[in-house]
Amino acid sequence: MAANILLTAGVVFLTVCRFAQSQSESGAWGYSPREGLEPPKWQDNFPACGRSRQSPINIDSLTVIEDTELDSVKFIDYDEYPPDHQWVVENNGHTVKISANFPCPPQLHGGSLHAKYQFMQIHFHWAHDDYKGSEHHLDGRKYPLEMHLVHRRRNRTPKEISEDAIGLAVVAVFFELGNSPNRHLTPITEALKHVEKAGTIVNLTLQDFTLKSVLPQVPDFFRYNGSLTTPPCDATVQWTVMRQPIRVSHQQLLAFRALRAPLPAGSDNNNSIPIYITDNFRPVQDLAGRTVYRYRSSDAPARLTGPSLFLLLISLTAWVAGQK
């Protein structure tokens, strides 16, 4: 699979110094005190982080509302390749971001989204071990990796999007630990080797990679209104959290943990001990009265919850009574 990844000569931009400088300016944030403001203090510089409608959240499957009005999300052109299979891969010091210059960007429709959206970028959240890393939790369970596919509302300016309660649509995909590498994720984990330094951006040919290849098979999802999970924490996101996790191996997780964070300002780039990007997940936030909805495809096996078990018992009782 490594042979399918070609580094485009001459388009590697090492911007470590410039990045370190911007981090030292006011507004630096991170996930631990050594990186700058840690999550509980983000609101000191970014007030929206302390307001309502924040993400991520724990999704409690017993209290979600089954919404039969929700339909499946339509992932339009998710199987398309960008021109020459070229993707832009960036280590921005907080995560790895993957985007491409699609002439007609893949789109997100349906799923009862309140607008039409176009693909912007993918990025990931992970931890220093295999037992946590995801931003969202499902019934209290943490996954070792979570992928976010970020989409912006079509025909809106960045300023309009930042002020629009439905300006963004983000699809979250959980990864669970598997014994063997997920071959669909391999183009990305191989690409990570080219962006281990913070601030590195490369153009790479990812021959076999499409957005569809890293989506779960089962279309079931949870929907709620939330925010960006990083500063400035704008409450502008319609979240679609896919229920079915896909696989990632321990070795593939190590590739994410090899990505380096920027060194503190004034450090000697050649002789300092590297700092790695780990635990780049925000703690779960208070649901604060919000409702989480669930879409379940007709062929997905129904899990009997308390209320649905109760209704089934009533139906059975009525049926038995009718037989007498």
Q: Which of 53, 97, 136, 148 binds Zn ion (CB under 5 A)?
A: 148
Question: Is-cis flag, bond preceding 232, omega within 30?
Answer: yes
As measured in angstroms, the least distance from the Cβ of 249 to Zn ion is: 22
* 55 vs 189, beta carbon nearer Zn ion: 55
197 binds Zn ion, rule: CB under 5 A: no
As measured in angstroms, the least distance from the Cβ of 202 to Zn ion is: 21
Number of residues that bind Zn ion (CB under 5 A): 1
The whole-angstrom separation of Cα 42 and Cα 28 is: 9
As measured in angstroms, the least distance from the Cβ of 95 to Zn ion is: 7
Nearest to 53, CA basis, from 320, 291, 318? 291
| Catalytic sites, residue numbers | 94
257's CB contacts (< 8 A; 6+ apart) are 126, 128, 276, 277, 278
Nearest to 285, CA basis, from 58, 59, 10? 58
Residue 185, exposed/middle/buried by CB under 10 A (0-12, 13-18, 19+)?
Answer: buried
Token digits of residue 221: 């999802």
* 263 vs 280, beta carbon nearer Zn ion: 280
* 148 vs 243, beta carbon nearer Zn ion: 148
φ, ψ of residue 162 to 5 degrees: the values are -70, -15
As measured in angstroms, the least distance from the Cβ of 103 to Zn ion is: 26
From the list 76-84, 109-117, 147-155, 294-302, the region that binds Zn ion by CB under 5 A is 147-155
From the list 30-38, 144-152, 270-278, 310-318, the region that binds Zn ion by CB under 5 A is 144-152
* 148 vs 151, beta carbon nearer Zn ion: 148
From the list 83-91, 148-156, 256-264, 289-297, the region that binds Zn ion by CB under 5 A is 148-156
Q: Are 58 and 284 in contact (CB under 8 A)?
A: yes
CB atoms within 10 A of CB 302: 10
Give the footprint of Zn ion on this chain (CB under 5 A).
Answer: 148
